[in-house]
């Protein structure tokens, strides 16, 4: 039973970042295809996005275990949000750049490359901000704030 409990805990921990990155990768793919005047998503791309989202979610959870990722815990949330967003973005930028280096001579479309990186920067910031807010406010309170009944609309 302890193993099942641990698997359930890991799955529930992995679910939010995986869903977030899945949606991010869908947006990025749509942006890429629109920039290239292509429409539609093939099943191969869908599964690559799904696996990529799982990997990104797990990498984010593992990265958060490193002590240097939480160096601004005693500061306002914006510090940790900007710090973590920057670390994730720079990692993404380097990975995407080195992946593109194989095709630099013949295929790399630099405007497309930078468009994707801008998406990453904004979406990592949104993701990190939401996670930091959830840590402080609490998951239950945040869900109640977003989806629950509010007595007075002027109060948070």
The residue extents of the domains of the chain are: 1-63, 64-156
Q: Give dist(CA 69, CA 73) in Å, integer.
A: 9
What share of the chain in percent tops pLDDT 90?
1
Q: Which tops the pLDDT comparison, 148 or 105?
A: 148
Range scoring the smallest mean pLDDT among 1-5, 59-63, 137-141: 59-63
Q: Give dist(CA 134, CA 131) in Å, integer.
A: 5
pLDDT at residue 119, as a whole number: 81
Q: Give dist(CA 30, CA 38) in Å, integer.
A: 9
């Amino acid at each position: 039973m302890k193993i099942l409990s641990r698997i359930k805990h890991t799955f529930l921990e992995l679910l939010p970042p995986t869903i977030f990155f899945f949606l991010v990768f869908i947006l990025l793919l749509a942006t890429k295809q629109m920039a290239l005047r292509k429409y539609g998503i093939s099943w191969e791309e869908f599964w690559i996005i799904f696996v990529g989202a799982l990997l990104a979610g797990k990498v984010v959870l593992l990265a958060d275990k490193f002590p240097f990722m939480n160096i601004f815990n005693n500061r306002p949330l914006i510090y940790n949000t900007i710090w973590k967003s920057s670390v994730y973005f720079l990692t993404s930028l380097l990975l995407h750049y080195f992946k593109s280096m194989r095709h630099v001579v013949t295929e790399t479309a630099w405007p497309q490359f930078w468009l994707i990186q801008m998406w990453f920067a904004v979406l990592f910031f949104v993701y990190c901000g939401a996670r930091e807010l959830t840590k402080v406010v609490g998951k239950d309170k945040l869900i109640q704030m977003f989806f629950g009944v509010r007595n007075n609309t002027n109060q948070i």
